[in-house]
Amino acid sequence: MTGLADLGVEWERLDAEELIRRTQQRFGPKAVFACSFGAEDMVLLDMIARHRPPDGEGIRVISLDTGRLFPETYDLIERARHRYAIPIQLVFPDAEEVEQMVYEKGPNLFYGSVEGRKRCCAVRKVKPLDRALAGAEVWIVGLRRQQSTERAVTPKVSADPSHPGTYKMSPLADWTWNQVLDYVKQQEVPISDLHARGFVSIGCAPCTRAVPPDADPRSGRWWWETGTKECGLHSAAVPAPAAPERPGLLARMRAAREFSVAAPRDVLVL
C-alpha cells in the first residue's frame, strides 16, 4: 500500500471529488469513511460510489449505529443501500457497556449532566469508532468550516491525534451549505427527510432538534448544554498537538522529502 507522500500534491488545493478519487485509488479499504447520513455525508457517499474502482476494493464505508438514531436515518440507510452498490457496515457499541451504563444511570443519562452525556457519547460513538478505525490510514469525514467556530480551522487533511497513524480527511472543509444543497440537487442524492423540517446537523434523536434558518447549524445538538457542541469524535478539529507518528507512514513521507508537516496544523503539503 502506498502512502500519502506518493500523491505528491498539496491537499488543500484539491477539490472534494479529486480528493476522494485519489484516496480511493491509493488507499482503497485502508481509507474509512464514517458516514452519519447527514447531507454532507450523503454527498461524500455519492462521490465515493461514483469513483469506486471496478475491483470493489474502494474506500470502506461505516456508520456508527448508536441505537438512538432517528427512524428517518434508518430509512435513509435503506435508501442508500439500494441506490449505491457499496457495503455499509453498521458499527454497534459494546452491549455490556451499554447495559452497565443504562443500569447505573438510566437510558437518558445525557440530560442529567455533561459528564453523563460524555459517557454516553464515549460508549455509543467514540469507542465503536476507535474499533472501526483500527488499521486505517485515512479517516474521511464530512466536516465543514462553516458548521461551527470549533470547526472553522478544519484542514482538508491532518494527522489525527486521537488515532495515531491515521490521517483525517475533510474533503468538504471549504464547502458552504448551499454548495452541499446544489450538489444534492444536481446529482439527485437522497438525503434525510429531517433536513426539510429544519434539522441541519443530524445526530441521535434525543440529542438533536430543528433550528431556525439563520441559527448556528450546531445549535440543535445537545441544545440544553452551553459551550462546545462536540461529542468527542472530532477533538482534532481544534488546533492539534504535534503529529502522531506510526512507524512507516510519516517516516516514508519524510524520507521521500515530498511533504513537510506545516506547523501548527500538521497539514501535509508538497
Active site residues: 231
Q: Binding of ligand SF4 at residue 125 (CB under 6 A)?
A: yes
Q: How far is the CB of 229 from ligand SF4 (least distance, A)?
A: 10
Q: Which stretch binds ligand SF4 (CB under 6 A): 115-123, 180-188, 194-202, 251-259?
A: 115-123
Torsion of CA 176, 178, 184, 186, to 10 degrees: -120
Distance CA(222)–CA(229), nearest Å, equals 7
Q: Binding of ligand SF4 at residue 204 (CB under 6 A)?
A: yes
Cβ atoms of 192 and 39 closer than 8 Å: yes
Q: Binding of ligand SF4 at residue 126 (CB under 6 A)?
A: no
C-beta of 1 vs 224, nearer to ligand SF4: 224
From candidates 110, 139, 167, 175, binder to ligand SF4 by CB under 6 A: 110
Q: At what angle do helices 39-50 and 16-27 cross, to 10 degrees?
A: 50
C-beta of 57 vs 130, nearer to ligand SF4: 130
Q: Which stretch binds ligand SF4 (CB under 6 A): 12-20, 79-87, 152-160, 200-208?
A: 200-208
Q: Binding of ligand SF4 at residue 231 (CB under 6 A)?
A: yes
Report the relative pairing of strands 260-262 and 267-269 from DSSP bridges: antiparallel
From candidates 3, 203, 220, 244, binder to ligand SF4 by CB under 6 A: 203
From candidates 30, 60, 124, 168, binder to ligand SF4 by CB under 6 A: 124
Strand, coil or helix: 123:
helix
Please give the grid coordinates belonging to residue 114. 455533561
Q: Binding of ligand SF4 at residue 218 (CB under 6 A)?
A: no
| Residue corresponding to grid cell 507512514 | 249
Q: Binding of ligand SF4 at residue 121 (CB under 6 A)?
A: yes
45 membership: H or E segment, kind and range: helix 39-50
The sign one gets for the Cα dihedral 64, 68, 73, 74 is positive
Cα atoms found within 13 Å of the Cα of residue 67, Cβ hemisphere only: 16
- How many residues of this chain interact with ligand SF4, rule: CB under 6 A? 13
Q: Binding of ligand SF4 at residue 63 (CB under 6 A)?
A: no
Cβ atoms of 56 and 83 closer than 8 Å: no
Which residue ranges make up the site for ligand SF4 (CB under 6 A)? 66, 68, 110, 117, 120-121, 124-125, 203-204, 206-207, 231
